Amino acid sequence: MAIASKARTHSGLDPYTGTWDEAAVLHLLKRTMFGATVEDLQYFSGKTLNQAVDEILDVDYNPPSPPVNNYDAQMSDPNIVPGQPWVYDYNASLNNHRNSSFKRWWIGKMVGQDRTIREKMVLFWTNHFSTETNVFYWANFAYKQNAMIRANCLKNFKTLVHEISKDPAMLIYLNGYRNTKSAPDENYSRELQELFTLGKGPDSKYTESDVIEAAKVLTGWRINTTNGNVFFDPAQHDTSTKQFSEFYGNKTITGLSGTSGADELIELIDMILLQDEVAKYIARRIYRWFVYYDIDEATEANVIAPMAQIFRNNNYDIKPMMEALFKSEHFFDVANRGAIIKSPIDFLVGFIRMFDIANNNFQHPNNNSKNNIFPGASDYVEQYHMWYLIHYYASLHQQDIMDPPSVAGWPAYYQIPNFHELWINSDTLPNRNEVTDYLTIVGLGYQGFRLQVDTVRFAEKFSSVSDPGAFIDDVLMLMHTVEVSQDQKDYMKSVLLYGQSQDYYWTDDWNDYINDKSSSSKRDAVETRLKLLFKYLMNLAEYQLS
């Protein structure tokens, strides 16, 4: 925990009673979802704060359709025909193609998210319980873990810990499937306490002996790689009595034989979660993901401690703690708005969502080369390719989903003192600007489809579009979370006016287009300026903030 010398704010978890305006709505949406659309803003602006938070936390736990064979042109699948799910078929020779399919599918779920926190919570928990596909290898297990987290993302933390302890990807990643009574492997036992539950803070006083004893409890779990089933092998389980340290109240876990040995895992997790530090540690992790990276003494006392108390009082149910946070004065404090640098996924998926690219269906008048249509579900090969492009650029910017650099997850969420500043460097910032430039100005085509911003269609969503000054203010409200200078606004306006001085130079051209949308020349007259405007907006430093 980082302790700052001066408090940024003394606000706490008291309910927010400030102005529930568009800025507040957008702050909530951008922190709980990947970006925000014009329609999202309009929808939630018609609700109260409590209604908005309740709906955002009302997660649909029904599993989405799983990823499909989109790779047949690259590698023939002997069992799964193109367009059909592969997740229940175990074929090691296809893992590379299926891992790629899984990651593309997951990007598609983020882009197509509903108006809830689900997709951001899924990414949060996969970072918290980090594994790497290039270590556990099986694409089926990547999907299985994602589905498990998706089904529990706002439910009970104790259940999540229990399920991740038996998760096949985790069992391989941290050698749990090699943990035997004759050679206990401490890898998962150590990370279970150090990274997944208690953390490494000064109040996490478990001992090396506790790591060793917990490893004995965890012996015996195995995986059947022909069907993906995890099972308990009593013959490999340590049935001795496990003695824990004073930190755990000198707890003993009596060794159990036969299939009953599996129940020792439940007793171990219960013992760990009796420690107050678990709730505080998870509260800090959530805080750093959704609010701000630095936790000073005031925040620890006014926010983290009460969040942890809510967490414990609700038997480690996640949702009540999140509800208190998102309805609090602290969350909406001006000190916490525009204070986080967007992660690559937030940056790219938020970009795609904000411009509603996945719903583009426009073809430029009289010019087929400017096709701006995004593939639908029936064109799944092309659709998966578009998801691949987003995944590729996120990876280029140092966030490859399901493949963080280590078991600790992405350094931006734990690496003192820089935290989220690690996302931006001399390599990643130019790359961020380059990809938004490219997708705004020319786009990326594939098989007659296109990943590109339709700037005219986007502008039509704003009722103020014919008034250049008002339009710029409304666009800045949606796209930026902090104020830009008047000089910058003046430059933006000059782009729309094409260097002229009077507003009607833009207003007349826009109205001409609206009155004759079939004219390619009239569309070009406004599209050229809109592309330059949005390119400039996204190159500003303020666009990197959420």
- Measured in residues, the chain has a length of 546
User: In DSSP terms, which residues pair with 363 in a beta bridge?
Assistant: 371
pLDDT confidence of residue 2:
45
Distance (Å, whole) CA 214 – CA 221: 13
In a domain, 387, yes or no: yes
Q: Return the sign of the alpha-carbon dihedral for residues 520, 522, 525, 528.
A: negative
CB 89 within 8 A of CB 69: no
In a domain, 349, yes or no: yes
The four Cα atoms 274, 280, 286, 290 give a dihedral, to 10 degrees, of 150
In a domain, 463, yes or no: yes
Distance (Å, whole) CA 415 – CA 409: 10
- Of 117, 29, 54, give the one whose Cα is nearest residue 324: 54
CB 530 within 8 A of CB 492: no
**Low-confidence residues of the chain: pLDDT under 70:** 1-5, 362-371
- Of 385, 542, 356, 309, give the one whose Cα is nearest residue 460: 356
Q: What are phi and psi of 253, to 5 degrees?
A: -110, 115
Q: What are phi and psi of 365, to 5 degrees?
A: -55, 125
* Cα-based distances in Å from 77 to 71, 106, 268, 374: 8, 21, 42, 27
CB 479 within 8 A of CB 537: yes
Distance (Å, whole) CA 368 – CA 349: 27
Q: Which amino acid is at 234?
A: P
* Cα-based distances in Å from 187 to 145, 181, 184, 190: 19, 14, 9, 5
pLDDT confidence of residue 354:
98
pLDDT digits (tens, 9 = 90+) for 217-231: 999 999 998 999 999
Q: Which amino acid is at 189?
A: S
Distance (Å, whole) CA 447 – CA 437: 22
In a domain, 140, yes or no: no
pLDDT digits (tens, 9 = 90+) for 331-351: 999 999 999 999 999 999 999
In a domain, 217, yes or no: no
DSSP 16: P
CB 120 within 8 A of CB 34: yes
Helix or strand or coil: residue 222? strand
Domain that residue 418 falls in: 344-544
CB 428 within 8 A of CB 398: yes
SS (H, E, C) 394-425: HHHCCCCCCCCCCCCCCHHHCCCCCHHHHHCC
Based on C-alpha coordinates, what's the Rg of the chain? Answer: 25
Helix or strand or coil: residue 446? strand
Chain-centre distance of CA 121, in angstroms?
6
Distance (Å, whole) CA 126 – CA 369: 40
pLDDT confidence of residue 367:
57
SS (H, E, C) 304-365: HHHHHHHHHHCCCEHHHHHHHHHCEHHHHCHHHCCCCECCHHHHHHHHHHHCCHHHCEEECC
Distance (Å, whole) CA 484 – CA 486: 7
pLDDT confidence of residue 371:
64
pLDDT confidence of residue 80:
97
Q: Which amino acid is at 403?
A: D
User: In DSSP terms, which residues pair with 224 in a beta bridge?
Assistant: 229
Query: Which two tokens mark 60?
Result: 């649909």
In a domain, 154, yes or no: no
CB 62 within 8 A of CB 29: no
In a domain, 371, yes or no: yes
Q: Which amino acid is at 263?
A: D
pLDDT confidence of residue 75:
86
CB 504 within 8 A of CB 511: no
Compute how many other C-beta atoms are within 10 angstroms of the C-beta atom of residue 317: 17
User: In DSSP terms, which residues pair with 231 in a beta bridge?
Assistant: 222
The answer for residues whose C-beta is within 8 angstroms of residue 386's C-beta and 6 or more apart is 358, 374, 375, 446, 449, 451
* Cα-based distances in Å from 518 to 50, 105, 465, 522: 45, 36, 19, 8
Instruction: Indicate the number of domains in the chain.
Output: 1
Distance (Å, whole) CA 433 – CA 83: 35
DSSP 194: I
The answer for residues whose C-beta is within 8 angstroms of residue 241's C-beta and 6 or more apart is 252, 253, 254, 255
pLDDT confidence of residue 369:
52
In our burial notation (b when 16+ CB lie closer than 10 A, e otherwise), range 472-502 reads bebbbbbbbbeebeeebeeebbebbbeeeee
CB 391 within 8 A of CB 104: yes
pTM attached to this predicted model: 0.96
In a domain, 302, yes or no: no
